[in-house]
Structure 1
Amino acid sequence: MSVKSGHESPRAKNEKTAGSIEHVEERSSASSVDTRDSELLGADVRPAAERRLVRLMDMRLLPTIVLIFIMNYIDRTAVSAARLKGLEQDLNLSDTNYDTVLAVLYASYVPAQIPSNMILNRISRPSYYIPLCVVLWGLTSALTGVTKSYSGLLAARVFVGFPEAAFYPGAIYLLSRWYTRKELAFRSAILYGGLLISNAFGSLMAAGILSNMEGKLGIRAWRWLFYIEGAITICIGFFAIWALPDYPHNTRWLSPAQRRLAMVRLAEDAGEADEDSSRDSVFAGLVLALKDPKVLIFAVMGCAQLLGLSFVNFFPTLTSTLGFSTTISLVLAAPPWIFSTIVCCINAWHADKTGERFFHITGWWWGVIIGYIIGTTTMSVGGRYVAMFLMAAGYSGFALTAVWVSNAIPRPPAKRAAAISIVNGFGNMGNLIGSYAWRAEWGPNYHPSMFIGLSSLALASVLSFVIRCMLVRQNKHLEEEELSSLTGDRRERIEEAARLEGLTFDEALERRRGFRYLY
Structure 2
Amino acid sequence: MEVTSSSSILRKNDYKIETEPIDSFNPIDQAAEKRLVHKFDWRLMPMFATMYFFSSLDRSNIGNAKVAGMTADLGISDVQYSNVVSVLYATYLPVMLPGVWFMKRCKKPRYYMAGMMFCWSLCSLFTLFAKSYGSLIALRLLIGLFEGSYFSCIAVITTDYYLPVELGRRTAYFFASSSLASAFGGLIATGITKITSGNLKSWQYIFLIEGILSCIAVAWLFFGLPDSPDQLIKTDEEREVYKDRERRRILYTDTNGFEFKEVLAACTDYKTSFSVVIQFTQDICLYGFSTFLPIILKSGLKFNSLQAQYLSVPVYLLAGIIFLIAAEISDRKKIRGPIIAFTNIFGITGYILLLAVKNNAVKYFACYLICFSIYTGTGINESWLASNTSPRFKRYTAIGLNQTLGNVSGAISPQVYRKSPDYVLGHAFTLGCLIVSSICSLICSWLLHKRNLHNEKVMETGVDDRNRKRDYGDDSPEFRFII
Given the two structures, how large is their TM-score scaled by the length of structure 2? 0.87
Gaps of 5+ in 1: 1-6, 10-27, 29-40, 495-511
Q: State the match for 2:289 in structure 1.
A: 311
After superposition, give the CA deviation of every residue in 1:65-84 in whole Å (9 maximum; x if it has no partner). Answer: 11111111111111111111
Aligned partner (choices 246, 257, 272) of residue 295 of structure 1? 272
Residue 211 of structure 2 is matched in structure 1 by: 230
Contact 2:93 2:404 in 1 (8 A): yes
Q: Distance in 2 between the 1:452 and 1:179 partners? A: 36
Question: Which amino acid in 1 is paired with 2:295?
Answer: T
- 8 Å contact from structure 1 (residues 193, 344) kept in 2: yes
Give the corresponding residue for 1:361. Answer: 340
- CA–CA separation in structure 1 for the residues paired with 2:85 and 2:247: 44
Matching residue within 114, 117, 120 for 1:137: 120
Q: Which moved more, 1:48-57 or 1:256-265?
A: 256-265
The answer on 1:401 being equivalent to 2:381 is: yes
Give the structure 1 partner of residue 52 of structure 2: 69
The aligned counterpart of 1:518 is: 482
Identity %: 26
Aligned residues: 453
Please name the residue that 1:93 is paired with.
76
Q: Contact 2:183–2:316 at 8 Å: present in 1 too? A: yes
CA distance in 2, matches of 1:455, 1:465: 16
Structure 2: runs of 5 or more not aligned: 1-5, 8-14, 16-25
Contact 1:379 1:445 in 2 (8 A): no
Q: Distance between the aligned counterparts of 1:389 and 1:376, measured in 2? A: 15
- Tell me the distance in 1 between the aligned counterparts of 2:157 and 2:240: 17
User: CA–CA distance in 2 between the matches of 1:158 and 1:456?
Assistant: 26
- CA RMSD, Structure 1 to Structure 2 (Å): 2.6
Report the counterpart of residue 11 of structure 2 in structure 1: none
Is 1:336 equivalent to 2:300 in the alignment? no
The CA distance in 2 between the partners of 1:105 and 1:384, in whole Å, is 30
Cα distance, 1:488 vs structure 2: 11
C-alpha distance in 1 between matches for 2:200 and 2:228: 45
Match of 2:451, SS? helix
Give the Cα–Cα distance (whole angstroms) in 1 for the partners of residues 240 and 145 of structure 2.
35
Q: 1-side partners of 2:140 and 2:79: how far apart? A: 16
Q: 2:412 maps to what in 1?
A: 433
Match of 1:386 among 353, 365, 368: 365
How far is the alpha carbon of 1:98 from its aligned partner?
A: 0.4
- Work out which of the residue numbers 421, 439, 455 in structure 2 matches 1:444: 421
Q: Does the CA contact (< 8 Å) of 2:36 and 2:238 recur in 1?
A: no
Evaluate the alpha carbon distance shift between residue 152 and residue 259 of structure 1 in structure 2; reply closer, same or farther with a 3 A threshold. farther
Measured after TM superposition, the shift of residue 281 of structure 1 is: 1.1
Map 1:49-448 onto structure 2 (within 5 A): 49-212=32-195, 214-216=196-198, 218-249=199-230, 251=231, 253-255=232-234, 257=236, 260-261=239-240, 263-272=242-251, 274-277=253-256, 280-281=257-258, 283-309=260-286, 310-320=288-298, 321-394=300-373, 395-409=375-389, 411-439=390-418, 441=419, 443-448=420-425
Task: Provide the rounded CA distance (Å) in 2 between the counterparts of 1:147 and 1:129.
Answer: 27
Match of 1:465 in 2: 442
Q: CA deviation at 1:353?
A: 0.8
Letter in 2 for 1:269: R
Q: In the alignment, does 2:452 pair up with 1:481? A: no
Q: Which moved more, 1:455-464 or 1:335-344?
A: 455-464
Corresponding residue SS for 1:515: coil
1:418-451, Cα deviation, whole Å (9 max, x unpaired): 1011111111111211111111x3x322222211
Question: Is the alpha carbon distance of 1:423 and 1:64 closer, same or farther for their aligned partners in structure 2, counting shifts above 3 Å?
Answer: same
Q: 1:488 to 1:73 in 2, by over 3 A?
A: same
User: Hey, what's the Cα distance between the residues in 2 that align with 1:514 and 1:419?
Assistant: 21
Q: What displacement does 1:461 show?
A: 1.8
For residues 235 and 381 of structure 1, do their structure 2 counterparts lie closer, same or farther at Cα, with a shift above 3 Å needed?
same
User: Could you tell me which amino acid in structure 1 is paired with residue 50 of structure 2?
Assistant: L
